[in-house]
A and B are shown apart, each in its own frame.
Chain A
Amino acid sequence: MKKHLILPTSIDLVRIAPERIVYIASDGNYSTLVQTDNEVRMLSFQLGQIEKMIANQLGSDGNLFIRMGKSLIINRSYIYYINIPKQKLILSDVATFNHTVSPSKDALKQLKELLEKEIKS
């Protein structure tokens, strides 16, 4: 069976296939999970805790996700457009959803380099 990411709290639980996550953004002590069906779900975890859960539960499959700075985890499958000077990253499946996020320019530069490096290797 395909691995699901399970995010349990004391009163509820979210179980979601990793590929259904577009990105997770930090929102103070909470985090906001944006799904491929455009649903947005508030999670009572800090982003660092979610990063740890992804790493623990998905292991090497967790490399689907990239932590970008303090306040963003993105699904690399949906990286569609990077513009460093405009500080713009568009996450899209080029069909049903299109989300723009703004990590730091340095983070975007590193992301661009990472993707370019992957072409070469």
Chain B
Amino acid sequence: MKHELNDIRDDQIRVIGESLPERKFPRWGVWAVSAILALVLLGLLVIVVRYFGDRRETIKMAALRAEEPAYFEPVVEQSRLVIEKQVAADTPIWFGQRVDESLPGFTEMKDTAINDIPLRLFIPHNASMSLHIGKVSKTDSSIVYVAQAADVRADNGGIVGAFVLRGEPKAWGLSKKGFCASIDGKVTVGVAENSPLFEKATETGGYFFRQYPLVSNGQLVENEPKGKSVRRAICERRGEIFMVESGTEESFHDFAQALVDLGVDQAIYLVGSSAFGWAIDQDGNRYQFGDENYYSRGRRKMPKNTSYIVWRKN
């Protein structure tokens, strides 16, 4: 590029899109250059022949020792994983674009694939996270992202795990180790049995909920539930908070591994499968996920303690 930028002088002009005019070169010069090239090539040929003569045996041995590609246990997958990890480590500090703070809030959506799992990243910009219990209004134009947060208890309809709504504790359970708090506009995702952020949320009018832990300090966390489903998570990577949704049905383990390979530092689960939610992009387009009519069809009734994380424009 440097050469291209400097290959014109101030006293020259060039019509763009046309090849450069051929430079006149004296005939004797052509012969001289050809002769020198021929000599150099001859010299190189001699060196190459001698070199390969000496090295032939060594190369033969090296070929015998080299790793052979196996059909049933290919090593290709491993090396690809290493490359993907390197890509994750080399990626820019944040996945999201830099956005002018004066712009209205929106959710940036980015698609990627890790370990053949398609992932969609939802990166909120100029927005703050809160929690909400009960149905969220689709007409609320301040919302840029909504997804179901904590699970609902099958026995008594309560919220699974500790839950603080605008400073008010709604549940105190510790069955799930993952937690997410939004206090004074700062979102924290982590994994801990006890977190002082629960108390802090109650003291400062903040928000707190618990879910399955997926990634803790860059390490995968194993979970009990088996089976495959569309998975969602809220993640923290190098200080950036974003949500992730798998494009295919995945086990907890594979989804968490994909997040680890994405370079995520902390991640906890969000209700996956057909749980309804949406995101609003910079142009105001709505991307919906899950099943909007899940609770309006048949005899199913939406549990009254269904909770959501809601990102609203600042």
Q: How many residues of B contact A (CB 8 A)?
A: 17
For the complex, what is the distance from the CA of A52 to the CA of B7, rounded to whole Å? 12
Determine the chain B residues whose CB is within 8 A of the CB of A91 once the complex forms.
Answer: none
Do B16 and A67 touch (CB < 8 A)?
yes
Interface string of B197-210 (1 = CB under 8 A from A): 00000000000000
Determine the chain B residues whose CB is within 8 A of the CB of A104 once the complex forms.
Answer: 10-11
A111 at the interface (CB under 8 A from B): yes
Interface string of B1-32 (1 = CB under 8 A from A): 10011101111111111100000000000000
For the complex, what is the distance from the CA of A71 to the CA of B8, rounded to whole Å? 10
Partner of A63, one of B12, B17, B97: B17
Give 8 closest A-B pairs by Cβ, nearest first. Answer: A62-B17, A48-B5, A106-B11, A69-B10, A62-B16, A65-B16, A67-B14, A63-B17
Do B4 and A67 touch (CB < 8 A)?
no
B98 at the interface (CB under 8 A from A): yes
Partner of B11, one of A47, A55, A107: A107
For the complex, what is the distance from the CA of A86 to the CA of B163, rounded to whole Å? 77
Determine the chain B residues whose CB is within 8 A of the CB of A11 once the complex forms.
Answer: 97-98
Do A67 and B8 touch (CB < 8 A)?
yes
Do A55 and B17 touch (CB < 8 A)?
yes
Do B9 and A70 touch (CB < 8 A)?
yes
Do B1 and A66 touch (CB < 8 A)?
no
Interface string of A95-118 (1 = CB under 8 A from B): 000000001111100110010000
Do B5 and A114 touch (CB < 8 A)?
no
Do B13 and A49 touch (CB < 8 A)?
no
Partner of A58, one of B4, B8, B11, B17: B17
Do A114 and B15 touch (CB < 8 A)?
yes
For the complex, what is the distance from the CA of A103 to the CA of B12, rounded to whole Å? 10
**Closest Cβ neighbor of A106 among chain B residues:** B11
**Closest Cβ neighbor of A47 among chain B residues:** B5
User: Interface majority SS on A: helix, strand, loop or mixed?
Assistant: helix
How large, as a class, is the contact surface on chain A?
20 to 34
A73 at the interface (CB under 8 A from B): yes
Tell me the minimal C-beta distance from A27 to chain B in angstroms.
14
A36 at the interface (CB under 8 A from B): no
**Closest Cβ neighbor of A110 among chain B residues:** B13
Can you list 10 contacts pairing A with B, beta carbon distance less than 8 Å?
A: A10-B97, A49-B5, A55-B17, A63-B15, A65-B17, A69-B10, A70-B9, A104-B11, A106-B12, A110-B12
Please name 9 further chain A to chain B contacts, defined as beta carbons within 8 Å, in addition to the given A67-B14, A70-B10, A103-B10, sorted by A numbering: A48-B1, A51-B16, A63-B15, A63-B16, A67-B8, A67-B16, A68-B13, A69-B10, A70-B6
Determine the chain B residues whose CB is within 8 A of the CB of A69 once the complex forms.
Answer: 8-13
For the complex, what is the distance from the CA of A69 to the CA of B5, rounded to whole Å? 11
Do A66 and B9 touch (CB < 8 A)?
no
Centre residue among A48, A49, A52, A58 by max chain B CB count within 10 A? A48
Determine the chain A residues whose CB is within 8 A of the CB of B17 once the complex forms.
Answer: 54-55, 58-65
**Closest Cβ neighbor of A12 among chain B residues:** B97
Do A63 and B18 touch (CB < 8 A)?
yes
For the complex, what is the distance from the CA of A111 to the CA of B5, rounded to whole Å? 20
For the complex, what is the distance from the CA of A47 to the CA of B8, rounded to whole Å? 11
A92 at the interface (CB under 8 A from B): no
For the complex, what is the distance from the CA of A87 to the CA of B103, rounded to whole Å? 45
Tell me the minimal C-beta distance from A11 to chain B in angstroms.
6
Do B4 and A48 touch (CB < 8 A)?
yes
Do B9 and A60 touch (CB < 8 A)?
no
A44 at the interface (CB under 8 A from B): no
**Closest Cβ neighbor of B100 among chain A residues:** A11
Tell me the minimal C-beta distance from B5 to chain A in angstroms.
3
For the complex, what is the distance from the CA of A65 to the CA of B98, rounded to whole Å? 33
Do A54 and B5 touch (CB < 8 A)?
no
